[in-house]
Amino acid sequence: MTTSPSPGALATRGPHAFGRALRALFARPGSAIGTSLVAGFLLLAAVGPLIAPYGANEQVFAEARQPPSLARPFGTDHLGRDVFSRVLLGARDIVSVAGLGSLVAVVLGAAAGLLTSYLGGLVEELTFRFFDALLAMPALLLALLLLGMLGPSRANVLIVLTLAYVPIVARVVRSVVLDVKSKDYVAAARMQGEPLPAVLLRDVLPAVLPALAVEAALRFSYAIFLVASLGFLGAGVQPPSPDWGLMIREARTFASLTPWALAAPAVAISVLVVAVNLMAEGLARALQVTRGVR
Amino acid sequence: MAYGPGAGVLALRDVDLDVAPGTAVGLVGESGSGKSTLALAALRFLPGDGRVVRGRVELGGVALDGLSSAALRDLWRRRVRLVPQDPLASLNPSLTVGRQVAEGLAGDPAGRDGEGTAGASPRGDRARDAVRALLASVGLADAARVAASYPHQLSGGMQQRVAIAMALGGAPELLVMDEPTTNLDVTTEATVLDLVRDLRERHGTAVLYVSHSLAVVARTCDRVAVLYAGELVEDAPVAELYRRPLHPYTRGLLDSLPRVGQDRRAEPLRPIEGRIPEAHARPPGCVFADRCPVAIERCHAERPALDDAAPGRRVRCHRWPEIAAGTLDPRRPAEPPARAHDALAPDGDAPALSVRSLSKRYPLARGAWAALRRRPARAVRALEDASLEVWRGRTLGLVGESGSGKSTLARCVVGLTVPTAGEVALAGARLAPRLEHRYRARLGELQMVFQNSGEALNPYLTVGESLARPLRRLAGARSGGEIEARVRSLLEAVHLPAAFAARVPGELSGGEQQRVAIARALATEPCVLVFDESVSGLDVSVQAGILDLLTRLQDERHGAYAFISHDLAVVAYLADDIAVMHLGRVVESGPASAVLRPPYHPYTEALLSAVPTLDPDGQAERVRLTGDAPSPVDLPPGCPFHTRCPRSLGELCEREAPPWRRDASGKTVACHIPLEELVTAQVPLFADAGDAGAGPAAEGAAP
C-alpha cells in the first residue's frame, strides 16, 4: 500500500521551504493581513525612534489635551505628550519585552519538553508535575505574585514571562515527542549508534518544529497581552516609559478629557494581538498543526 | 445488476460487472486500482466529493441512480449492506452490540421499535431474540453475552462477525464486503471466510467481495474480477482464472504470490515491475502497457476493448487470443536462477544469533491497596522462555498469530526492549540487554527492518542523508566522496536508481521506502538482519520484488536473517528454518521442510490449514480453531494451547506443561502427544511441501 507524500513533511523540508511557507501564509486573506500587520509593527518597533516627531517624555504644556490633528495624529495627553510618538516608541518596548520573553520561554520549554519527554521515567514525571503546579495558577496571578516579590522591572517581567510560558510550551512539545519517539525511524537511529543529541536534534526536533512555530506565535500574542496587563496594573514597566498598558492606566483617569490618549494604545494592543493570532492561525494551517485550546 | 460508473478524476473507467443472487464475485487489485471506489459506487454510497459521471447501477433490474436520499436510505436498510474493513471503527463504541444489531433489523417492526428500549417491552423481547438468533447464525456461541457487550470487549474476529451479523440483519439482496479479513489473524480469517461461504449458500445473498488477496478470493468466491488502474481487465470463474489467466496483469499477480513449497532459488517469484499509473495520468493505450512484459506498439497506442474470450470470461487485452492459444507466454522472463546455495561452514560452530530463554513480562498497574498488602503484581507475559538460533546464510522464519510475541522477541533481540530474563548472543558473544549499553562497534552487526515502511525513514532527511548516517557513524566512512559512492552502491544493491538519494521519503512509494530501509540496514554490512513484518503492508507485486531481493542479498552476503511474518506462505517461501510461536512461547521449530510436514504441533496444524491457497479445490481437511486465545495475563496452567486445541488430551494437557519432543528430521515440538501418534493422525497439508527449502544446506547446517 503506497503512502502518499505528506504535504506537512514536504512543507518543512527542502531549499524552498521558507518561500513555500511564506506563500502558504499569504494564500488566505486572514493570515495575509495578520502577517502583514505583524511585519508592520515589527518595522515600527525598529524604526520608531527615527520617525517619531516628538520624544516619549517631551512635554509641551501649552499643547496639552489636544485632540487628534494633522500635526498631532493621535492628539496629546494631559501632560502635553504626543500620543502618536509615545505609541510609536512604546511599540519597541512591548515587542521587545514580549518577543524576548516568549523566545526564551519557547527555547527553554522546547529543550525541557524535548529532553524529559524523550527520556521519560521519573525525570519526566517530576518535571511535568512541577509544570502542572505552575499551570494551576493563572499566568496573570503568577506574574503579579512574582513581581510583588521581585519588584517591578523590565528584567523581572522577562523572568515572569518565561516562568509562565515554559510549562505551556513544554506540554505542546511533549505531545509531539510522545508520538514521534515510538516511530520506527527513531528506533532505527538508535540502532545505528546515533548519540542522544543527534537523535533529539535530527530525528525528534524536526517533527516538533511546526507545532513549536505555531506555539511561539501564540505565546507572543499572549505575552503582549500579559505585558500590557502588567503595565496597566502598575506591576510591570514603570512610568514614565511609553508602555502601552501603562499609557492606558495613566489616560484612564482622564478618559473623558482625552479619550484619544486612551484609545490609541488600546487599539494598538488589540490590533497587534489579533494580527499575531491571525498569523498563528495561518501558520498552523500552512504547517498542518492542530491548534490547542490554550 | 450492472454498473458502469466513472467518477471525479476518473477513479473508475467503463467497469461492467454483474453479481447473480447466491454467488460471490471477488474484486481484486493492487492498492490504487479503484476496488473500494467500485464497491462504494455499487452501494451509491460515494464520499462527498465522488460523483458518478456516466453509467448506472441496477439492483434486481431497477436502476438505483436518481433515487432520492430517503429512497437510498431505505435501500441501505433493506436491500444492500456493507461489511467494512475495520469493524471496531464502524461499530459505535458507546452502544452495546445487541442494540446496534437490533438497529440493523430491517423490515422487522419489532426491531425498529425495539430501538432504545430493547429488552423492556414485549416487542423488545422479540427484537432481542432476533438479535441473538442472528449472532448465533454467524457462529458467535455465547450470543447473549456478546449482545450485552460493548465492541471493545470483543476480539477482532468477533467484532467482524458482529459486523457481518449487522449486515445480515437486513436480509440484504447484496452484501458488499470491503477487505473484511485483512486485519484479522490467519486463523480467525479462515473461520470468517468459512462463514461467508456458508451464509451465501444458506441465504442466497449476492456477495461482492473486495480483497487485495487472490488467495482469499479463491476461497470465498465463484468469480473473480481483476481491477487495474480503475479498469476491469479480466473477469472469469475462479478456477479458470487461476489455472489459465488470460491477462498479463493477472498472470503477474499470480506469479507474485509465493506458494507453500516453492523453492525460492530454483523458482523465484516474478514481481510486476513499475507502478500503477495515477488516476490523472493514465496512458492513452492499455493502462497496463507500461508494466506489461509482452506489450507491443499497439498496446501503447490503442485502448483494448473488454472482449468475451469464452462464455463467462472477459478480458481487456490486445494479445489475449495468442495467450489463450498458448503461443505467447505473458510472463516476464525469469531471472537466471540464483547460483547454487553453498552450505557455509558455521563460524566457529556458533550460530550468528542465539536467543536463550528470553522472557518479557509487562507488569500491570496494581491498585494502592494491593501494593500495600504486597500482593505480587500481575504481568502480561509477552514472551516466555523463548530460545532460537539463526545461522549464517540461512533464514529463520518466525510465525504466529498477533499477540504471540514475535515482535517482542525481535525488539528484545535488537535491544529496543529490555527483556525480563534470558540472553541474546551474537556469534557466541553475549550482548547487553539494553541497546544503549551495547558496544557501538558491534551495533552494525545486528540491524532490523521494520514493518511500517512509512515510519521507518525520517521524513525530514533525504534518502541519501538517511543512508549516510550509519555509514558515517558505524561503518567508518569519512570523506564526502566515499560516502556518496557507498550510498550509490547501496541504492544499486536494492535496485533503486542513484537519483533517489536526493528524494525525501514522502516522494517514494511504499515498496521504494522499504527498499531504502533495507539499504539502510545493509549499510553496516550486518551479519544478522531482523525483519519484523517487513513486507506485510505491501502489495503482492511489490512484496514479491522485495522477497526476491532478500534472497539475492542473502546469497551474496551470507547474512543470517530472522524473518517475522504472520503470513505463512511468505515465511514458507523464504525460510530455511521455521519457529512457530504461540502466546509468547515457541511451540515448534526446525528445518522448514520438516515443519511443513507432519507431525505438526496441533497449533501449527491449525495455522497451516488456515493459510488460504490459490487452488480452490485443493483445500484438504481443515482444522479450525474455535474461541479466542487465552489472555496472556491469566495463562491457564498446563499447555497454554489446551483451551483451543482440537487434539487436547484432556486432563494431562490442562495440568502439565508439555515436554519437548524431537524427531529424526531435526524438529522439536512441545506437545503431550507423542510425535508418532501425531504423524498417523494428521494429513500433510501441502502436497509438495516436502522439498521446501531443502537445498543442500538444509540438512547440513541444521542445528
CB B582 within 8 A of CB B635: no
Where does B427-520 show beta strands of DSSP type E?
429-430, 446-449
pLDDT digits (tens, 9 = 90+) for B600-618: 899 999 888 888 777 655 5
Chain A: residue whose CA lies nearest to B469 = A192
Of A183, A191, A193, the CB nearest to B448: A191
Q: Check B504 against A184: CB less than 8 A apart.
A: no
Chain B residues with CB-CB distance to A212 below 8 A: none
* Beta-carbon separation of B456 and A185 below 8 A: yes
Could you give the CA distance from residue B332 to residue B272 in angstroms, rounded to a whole number? 8
Could you give the CA distance from residue B614 to residue B214 in angstroms, rounded to a whole number? 7
Substitution target from A6, A10, A185 for chain B, most B beta carbons within 10 A:
A185
Q: Which residue has the higher pLDDT, B154 or A164?
A: A164
pLDDT digits (tens, 9 = 90+) for A103-126: 999 999 999 999 999 998 899 999
Residue B309 has phi, psi (to 5 degrees) of -80, -30
For residue B283, whether the previous peptide bond is cis, meaning omega lies within 30 degrees of 0, is no
B236 pairs with which residues across the strands?
B224
Q: Is the pLDDT of residue A285 over 70?
A: yes
pLDDT digits (tens, 9 = 90+) for B309-350: 888 899 999 999 888 888 888 887 766 655 555 544 444 578
8 Å CB contact between B450 and A187: yes
Give B211 to chain A, closest Cα distance, Å.
13
Tell me which residue in A5, A191, A206 faces B506 most closely, judged by beta carbons.
A5
User: Residue B335: what pLDDT?
Assistant: 64
CB atoms within 10 A of CB B613: 18
Is the confidence at residue B112, as pLDDT, over 70? no
Q: Which residues of B touch A184 (CB under 8 A)?
A: 450-452, 455-456
> Does the beta-carbon distance from A13 to B458 stay under 8 Å?
no
B470: nearest CB among A5, A14, A192? A192
Q: Which residues on A lie below 8 Å from B446 (Cβ)?
A: 191
What does the pLDDT read at residue B692? 38
Which chain B residue shows the shortest CA-CA distance from A208? B460
- The values of phi and psi at residue B395, to 5°, are -115, 125
User: In terms of CA atoms, which chain A residue is nearest residue B510?
Assistant: A2
pLDDT (tens digit, 9 = 90+) per residue, B444-470?
999 999 988 888 999 989 999 999 999
Neighbour tally for B584: CB within 10 Å: 26
Q: At a CB cut-off of 8 Å and minimum separation 6, what does B681 contact?
A: B647
Of the candidates B626, B612, B432, B415, which has an alpha carbon nearest to the alpha carbon of residue B530?
B415
Is B396 within 8 Å of B409 (Cβ atoms)?
A: no
- Specify whether the CB–CB gap between B239 and B254 falls below 8 A: no
**Best of B469, B516, B528, B536 to mutate (most A CBs within 10 Å, chain A):** B469
- In 3D, which of B234, B233, B251 has the Cα closest to residue B242? B251
Packed helices A154-180 and A121-135: angle between N→C axes, nearest 10 degrees: 130
Say yes or no for a CB contact (<8 Å) between B469 and A183. Answer: no
Q: Work out the mean pLDDT of chain A and round it to a whole number.
A: 86
User: Which of these, A240, A265, A275, lies nearest to A91 by C-alpha position?
Assistant: A265
Question: Minimal Cα distance from B505: which residue of A?
Answer: A5
Which of A144-158, B61-75, B605-619 comes out lowest in average pLDDT?
B605-619
- Is the alpha carbon torsion for B325, B331, B332, B336 positive or negative? negative
* Residue of B244, B170, B172, B254 lying closest to B208 (CA atoms): B172
Task: Look at the domain B353-362+373-579 and name its fold.
Answer: Rossmann fold (3.40.50)
Q: pLDDT: is A247 or B280 the higher one? A: A247
Higher pLDDT, B278 or B480: B480
pLDDT in tens, B256-273: 888 877 888 878 888 888
Contact at CB, A185 and B455, closer than 8 angstroms: yes
Domain extents for chain B? Answer: 92-171, 353-362+373-579, 590-689
How high does pLDDT run on average in chain B?
Answer: 82
Between CA B227 and CA B16 the distance in angstroms is 11
Q: Please report residues of A whose CB lies closer than 8 A to that of B473.
A: 192-194
Phi then psi for B549, rounded to 5 degrees?
-60, -45
Q: Mean pLDDT, to the nearest integer, of A69-81?
A: 83
Rounded Cα gap, residues B422 and B458, in angstroms: 32
State percent of chain B over pLDDT 70.
88
* Residue B221 predicted with pLDDT over 60: yes
The arithmetic mean of pLDDT across residues B612-640, rounded, is: 71
Contact residues, chain A, for B451 at CB < 8 Å: 184
So what's the pLDDT on residue B447? 94
- Does A14 contact B447 at a Cβ distance shorter than 8 Å? no
Distance separating alpha carbons of residues B168 and B105, to the nearest angstrom: 8
Residue of chain B nearest A2, judged by CA positions = B510
| ipTM, 2 dp | 0.80
The predicted model scores a pTM of: 0.82
Ranked by mean pLDDT, which of A6-15, A47-56, B57-66, B315-324 comes out on top? B315-324
**Cross-strand bridge partners of residue B308:** B314
Of B275, B443, B539, which is closest to A193 when you measure between CB atoms? Answer: B443
Instruction: Please answer yes or no on whether A192 and B440 come within 8 Å at the CB atom.
Output: no
In the predicted model, is pLDDT for residue A60 greater than 70? yes
Asked whether the beta carbons of residue A13 and residue B504 sit closer than 8 angstroms, the reply is: yes
Instruction: Give the whole-angstrom CA distance, residue B209 versus residue B216.
Output: 10
pLDDT, residue B7, reads 41
CB pairs below 8 Å between A and B: how many?
92
Q: What is the pLDDT of residue B76?
A: 82
Q: Where are the beta strands (DSSP E) in B593-663?
A: 660-662
B278 pLDDT above the threshold of 50: yes
Cell numbers at B468, concatenated: 549516510
| pLDDT(A9) > 60 | no
φ, ψ for residue B203, nearest 5 deg: -100, -10
Q: Is the separation of the CB atoms in A217 and A287 below 8 Å?
A: no
What pLDDT score was predicted for residue B334?
66
Contacts of A187 in chain B (CB under 8 A): 416, 448, 450
Question: Measured between alpha carbons, how far is A211 from A208 in angstroms, rounded to an integer?
Answer: 6
Q: How far is CA B182 from CA A76, B306, B562, B567, in A?
A: 75, 30, 24, 11
Instruction: Supply the pLDDT for residue B246.
Output: 92
Is residue B532 scored above 50 in pLDDT?
A: yes
CB contact under 8 A, A2 and B451: no
Compare all CA atoms of chain A with the CA of B534 and give the residue at the minimum distance.
Answer: A184
pLDDT in tens, A262-274: 898 999 999 999 9
| Residue contact A202–B448, C-beta within 8 A | no
Q: What is the pLDDT of residue B376?
A: 67
- pLDDT at residue B337 in the model: 55
Interatomic CA distance for residues B205 and B176, integer angstroms: 10
| pLDDT tens, residue by residue, B21-65 | 888 999 998 887 888 888 888 887 776 666 677 777 788 777 777
> pLDDT category, B107, cuts 50, 70, 90?
low
**Cβ atoms A169, A105 nearer than 8 A:** yes
User: Considering only CB atoms, which chain A residues are within 8 Å of B538?
Assistant: 1
Number of H-type helices and E-type strands within chain B? 28, 22
Q: Determine which helix (DSSP H) or strand (DSSP E) holds B27, and give its type and residue range.
A: strand B24-28
Q: Do A1 and B539 touch (CB under 8 A)?
A: yes
> Three-state DSSP class for A231?
helix
| Confidence grade of residue B86 (pLDDT, cut at 50, 70, 90) | confident
- Which residues of chain B are at the A interface, by a Cβ-Cβ cutoff of 8 Å? 31-32, 275, 414-416, 435-436, 440, 443-444, 446-448, 450-461, 469-470, 473-474, 504-507, 509-511, 513, 517, 520, 524, 537-539
Q: Which residue of A has its CA nearest to B29?
A: A1
Q: Give yes or no for residue B477 having a pLDDT over 90.
A: no
Is residue B209 within 8 A of residue B27, CB to CB? The reply is: yes
